[in-house]
A and B are shown apart, each in its own frame.
Chain A
Amino acid sequence: MTATLNPPGDTRRPEPDAPATSEKARRRGALYPWMLLAPAALVLLVMTGYPLIRMLINSFQKYGKAQIFGAPPEWVALSNYTKALTDPAFWAVAGRSFGLMAVLVVCTMVLGMGIAIMMTKLNRFFRLLVSIGLLLAWAMPPLSATVVWGWIVDTKYGLLNWTLNQITGTDNFTDHSWLMDPASFFAVLVVIITWQSVPFVAFVMYAALTQVPDEVLEAAQLDGAGGYKRFFLIVMPYIRSILLVTVVLQMIWDLRVFTQVYTLQSLGGISDQTDVFGTYIFHLGTSNLGAAGAVSFIMVVMMLVISIYYVRKTVKDEEI
C-alpha cells in the first residue's frame, strides 16, 4: 500500500524527509497532504456530506403534526417520492422550472453571444462602453437587482406603466399589476435574470472569440470563405467546448434560482402559481420535511446529471 502512496514514477517532487526508503518516514510523508486537507475536508463532510445524507434519510420518513410535538419520525419507505411524483403541483413546479430554464438559457446565450461577436468588431471606445455597462449589470447583488426591477414594474408608480401609457397614448397601463399574472410575472423574471447573466456569457464568449487565431481566419478568407462560413466552419469548432460549458453552467444556475423568484413573489406574485424548485422546497419544508426531502433529492439528482458534462470536461482539461 505504501508503494502506491509514493509511486515510483513520481520524480517531480522528491520528499525531502524520505530520502531513504524508511517505512515510517514514508508513511509520515503520506500523511502531510491529509493534514493540510483536514480542515477543509472536515467542513465539507460535516456541512455538505452530512446534510445530504440527512436529507436522504428525511425523504424516507414522515414528518407531520405528531413530529412537531416530539414524536420520532415514522419510516414510510418511498411514500414521499410517490406522493411528490403523483402530485400535480410537483409537475407544475418542474414544468415551470425547466420552462423558465430553457427560456433563460436561450435568451442569455443568444444575447450574450451576439454581444460578444459585436465586441470583437468594436473600436476601443465602444468596447469599453459596452464592458462598463455589462459589468455594472453583472455586479449588482441579485437582491438589489430584483428590488430595482420590482420598482420599475411597480403597479402604481412604476416607470414601465408610465412609459407604456406614453407609447400607446392611452392610460390602459395605469395601475397595471405585472406580478399578479403568472405569465407576466415570469416575463419580468426572465428580464431580470437575463439582464444579470448576459454579461458573464458575453465576457466569456468574447474572451473565447479572441483566442481564435487570426491567421486561420485570414487564410480562410483568402480561400474565399464568407463571413457565415468562416464563423460556422472555423470559429465554432474553436469555441464549441467553452460554449457547451457555458450552456451547462447557465442551465444549472437557472434551475437553482431562488432569490429573484422569492423576492418577486413578496413584491406581489402568487407563490402557488409561480413556484420553481427552490421556492417550492422552501414553502413545502415549513409544513412537511419528508416531502421537502424527497423533492430536494430529486433536484440534487437532476443537477448532478446536468453537471456531468461540466465535471468531466473540467477533469479532462485540467488533467486532474
Chain B
Amino acid sequence: MSLATRTSGIAGSPPRAIKMAKRRQPPAVAARSTGRKFALGAASIVVFICSVFPVYWMLNTSFKPNADVISPVPQFWPQNFTLRNYVAVMFEPARPDRANFPSALMMSLGVTLTTLVICLVFAFLGALAVSRFKFKGRRQFVIALLIVQMIPGEAMMFTIFGMIDAWHLIGTMIGLTIVYLAGVLPFTIWTLRGFVAGVPADLEEAAMIDGCTRAQAFWKITFPLLAPGLVSTGVFAFIQAWNEFLMALIIMQGPGSYTLPIWLRAFQQATGATNWAAIMAGSTLIAIPVVIFFLIVQGRMTGGLVSGAVKG
C-alpha cells in the first residue's frame, strides 16, 4: 500500500503491473497480509529485545560508576561512561582472603586449554577407532559413550571429590583437568566420529597403496581434512570447561585455585550488593570468550542433531 502511493507520487500514475496486481487481489487479503507482516515484524522485535535486554543490562551496568548504579531511578544508558569497573576487577590487588582476577584467569585458561588439547588427542584416536575399524565391542563402546553422556555429574560429585582427594589433587589444575576431561570426552568422541566418517576411507586406502603405513595415511590424509571438525568440537569442549561451575566449586578450594566462575561467585559474596557495577564487569569478562566462540560454531551446534533425526 505505502509502496504504491509513493511510486504514484513520483511517477504520476502507478505502473500498470502494480495496478493490475492490486486489482486482482481481494482487498481483505491485502489488508490481512499487511497486518500479518506488521505483526511478524513486531513479534521479532519483541523476541530480539527479550533475548538481548539482560545482556544489554549487564553491559550498561558495567560501564556506570557505582553511584549511578544504585540511583533510585535506573539509567537506561551509562550517562557517566567509565571503564573503572573493568580496571578495578582486573587489577584489584590480591588479598589473602580473596581470589584475584589474573590468577583465576590463568587457572581457567590452564584448565580449559589443557582439557581441550588432551581431549582432542584422545577423542581423535577414539574417533578413528570407532569409525575406521570394525571390531568386537565397537557398537557397545559407542552406546556406552551415549549413555555415559546422560549420567549426571551432579550425582557423582562426592565420589569424584573423594578420588581427587585421595590422589592429593584437590585445588590443583591437574585434578580439575582430569574431571573435565572425563566430562567432555564422550561428547567429543561422538562428534568427531561423525567428522571422521565424513572423510572417505578410500583416500586413506589410496595413500596406503602408494606406500604409506596406516598411521601415516591417517596423519597425512585424514587429519588435515578433519581440521574444521577439530575446531568446532574443540570449541564445544572449551565452552564446557570454561563455564563449568559445580566441580570447580568443590574441587578448587582456596582463593589461590579458583577458576573464573568460582572467582565471580566469591567476588560477589565478598562485595555483596554494594558493587553491582564491578560484578557486571566480571560477568562480562567471563562471557566474552564464550560469545566469540559461540559465533564460530553456532551453525554446527544444531545441524548435527537435525540431520540425524529428521530423516527418521
Chain A residues within 8 Å of B, Cβ to Cβ = 4-7, 10, 12-14, 16-17, 30, 32-34, 36-37, 39-41, 43-44, 46-48, 50-52, 54-55, 58, 115, 118, 121-122, 126-127, 129-130, 132-145, 147-149, 151-152, 154-157, 159, 162, 195, 199-200, 203-204, 207-208, 211, 238-239, 241-242, 245-246, 252, 255-256, 258-259, 262-263, 266, 277-278, 281-282, 285, 289, 292-293, 296-297, 299-300, 303-304, 307, 310-311, 313-318, 320
Contact = CB atoms under 8 A, between A and B. Distances in A.
Interface stretch (B14-22, B24-32, B92-100, B122-130): B122-130
B306 to A, nearest CB: 4
Interface string B31-48: 000000000110111011
Given A48-B148, A199-B51, A126 B179 contact: no
Contact of A32 (B133, B186, B276, B302): B133
Nearest to A296: B155
Nearest to A145: B54
Contacts of A152: 54, 57
Given A133-B51, A154-B276, A211 B306 contact: yes
B136 interface: yes
SS of B interface (majority): helix
A314 to B, nearest CB: 6
Contact of A139 (B69, B156, B291): B291
Given A195-B54, A282-B157, A315-B143, A118 B205 contact: no
Contact of B40 (A121, A246, A281): A121
Interface in B147-193: 147-148, 150-152, 154-160, 162-163, 178-179, 181-182, 185-186, 189
B245 A314 contact: no
A136 B302 contact: no
B55 interface: yes
B20 to A, nearest CB: 23
B2 interface: no
Contacts of B121: 39
Contacts of B283: 143-144, 147-148
Contacts of A126: 40-41, 44-45
B208 interface: yes
A316 B151 contact: no
5 contacts: A12-B134, A30-B135, A54-B162, A239-B310, A313-B309
A285 to B, nearest CB: 4
A160 to B, nearest CB: 10
Contacts of B310: 208, 211, 238-239, 241-242
B201 interface: yes
A318 B311 CA distance: 11
A47 B150 contact: no
Contacts of B246: 258-259, 262, 278, 282
Interface of B: 40-41, 43-45, 47-52, 54-55, 57-58, 61, 69-70, 72-74, 121-123, 125-126, 128-130, 132-136, 138-139, 141-148, 150-152, 154-160, 162-163, 178-179, 181-182, 185-186, 189, 201, 205, 208, 214, 242-243, 245-246, 249, 261, 264-265, 268-269, 273, 276, 279-280, 283-284, 286-287, 290-291, 294-295, 298, 301-303, 305-306, 308-312
Given A39-B126, A195-B51, A311-B147, 13 more contacts: A36-B125, A44-B186, A46-B182, A121-B40, A126-B45, A127-B44, A133-B48, A137-B54, A157-B276, A159-B74, A162-B73, A278-B246, A304-B151
Contact of B306 (A47, A138, A207): A207
Counting from the closest, the 8 A-B pairs by CB-CB distance are A47-B182, A133-B51, A139-B294, A36-B129, A296-B155, A33-B133, A307-B150, A144-B283
Contacts of A4: 136
Nearest to A56: B159
